[in-house]
Amino acid sequence: MKEDLSILLVGCGKMGGSVLNGLLKKGFKPENIRVAEPDEKTREKLAAAGVASAASARDLADFAPDFVFLAVKPFMIEQVVGDLKSFTDKRAAVLSIIAGRKIEWFKEKLGKDTVVFRAMPNTPAAIGAGITGVKPSPEASAEQKKAVEEILSACGETVWLDDEGQIDAVTAVSGSGPAYVFYLTEALTAAAKAAGLPDDTAEKLAKATVAGSARLMTQSDETPAKLRQNVTTPNGTTAAALDVLMNPETGFEPLMIQAVKAAQIRSRELGK
C-alpha cells in the first residue's frame, strides 16, 4: 500500500521532519509526497532529498493527496487550516498530531464529511521508536485505517483508541512520558553524584542504566513487575531502595499518578 499512498505533510519541523524521514526509510516514494513548509532552508534540504515542497499548502493546490498530515505547532493551525479545504474537498483524509484540536473542530472548518484521524505521538518517533495513540472519525474506512497504520509505522507503534477523550490520557502518559524518563535519568544522575561519584561517571551510569533497562523491558516477554523482582534480592540493596520508592503514600507510584493526572487535566484545558 505504501507504494501508492500520496501524502501532503504540512509542517516539517522536528516532528514533521522525523515523520518524513521515517516515511522515506519505510519505502514511501518521494514523488508521492509534498511538503508545505515556510522555512526556505528546510525546503532546500527537501529538494536535495527529492521531495517537492512549497512555502504554503496554497501553492500545492494541484496536488491530490490521500492524506493531509498536519504537523504544525498548535498556534499555527488557525493560519493554515483554510488552505486545506481544497484537498479535503478532493476527498483527502486529515491526520492530525496537533495537541488540543478535536476531530469536530476540523469538521467545522473543513466540512462535516471530512475524515479525520486525531493522533498523539511522542518524541521517540524521531528514531522510529515512538508510540502513537489514534482516534478516527466514524466515517473512516478500514482501508484508510490500514493506511494510517502504514504512515504511523514510520514513527513506531500505533494504539487505536475507543474514545477521543482518551487522547488526554495518552498525552499525559506517552506524549509527555519521555520527559518523565529523562527527568528520572537526571534524578538518578544527581543521586549518583550525591553518593560520591564524579559528574561524568554519574551521568554515564544513569543514562546507560535507563537505556539498557528500557531495551531489556521491550525485548523481554516478562512484565515490568517481574523484571523488577528479578533484580531484587530480599533484604538486599535493591530492596532497601525500593522500600523508599514503593512507599504507598510518598513513593514513586502515587507521585506518578499525581503527575499524569495533572498533565491529563491540562490536556483537557488546552482542548477547550
Q: What is the mean pLDDT of each successive set of 10 residues along the chain, which is 272 residues long?
A: 85 91 91 95 94 95 95 90 94 93 94 96 91 96 95 94 95 96 98 98 98 97 98 96 96 97 91 76
Same domain? For 57 and 139 the reply is yes
pLDDT of residue 216: 97
- Within a domain: residue 187? yes
- Within a domain: residue 239? yes
Same domain? For 89 and 212 the reply is no
- Within a domain: residue 171? no
Helices (H), 53-165: 77-80, 85-88, 103-110, 142-152
List the grid coordinates of 191.
543521586
- Within a domain: residue 169? no
Same domain? For 130 and 89 the reply is yes
pLDDT of residue 93: 97
Domain range for 54 is 7-162
Same domain? For 132 and 199 the reply is no
Same domain? For 59 and 151 the reply is yes
3-state helix, strand, coil in the chain (%, to 5): 55, 15, 30
Last residue of a domain, one of 116, 139, 162: 162
pTM: 0.89
Start-to-end C-alpha separation, the chain: 36
Same domain? For 111 and 197 the reply is no
pLDDT of residue 270: 82
**Domain count of the chain?**
2
pLDDT of residue 1: 63
Last residue of a domain, one of 162, 187, 202: 162
Same domain? For 86 and 183 the reply is no
- Within a domain: residue 168? no
Same domain? For 38 and 92 the reply is yes
- CATH number of residue 214's parent domain: 1.10.3730.10
Rounded CA-CA distance 173/130 in Å is 13
Give kind and range of the element (H or E) at residue 156.
strand 156-160
- Within a domain: residue 99? yes
